[in-house]
Amino acid sequence: MLTLVQRRRWTAEFSRGGAMRLYRSLLAGLVTWHSRAQQRDALSRLDDHLLADIGITREAQMVECSKPFWCR
């Protein structure tokens, strides 16, 4: 017995919802990376008094600021 199965074209499915999800995901990643880079830049400019105020040592600051923007 032969059964016919209707297949969906993956390109049509991707072009509708998949492209928009991919775009949103990439945009969210870029926003996160930019924010992380700005926060590490601001952290790198804090003096010892401000670091002590927020409970971070100079060594912890150096470790955090040496990380690339894509690392948590």
Of 3 and 40, which is predicted with more confidence?
Answer: 40
Reading the block at residue 30, the tokens are 């870029």
Q: What is the pTM of this model?
A: 0.71
Mean pLDDT of 4-28: 75
- Over 80: is that where the pLDDT of 70 sits? yes
Measured between alpha carbons, how far is 34 from 44 in angstroms, rounded to an integer?
15
Beta strands in the chain (DSSP E): none
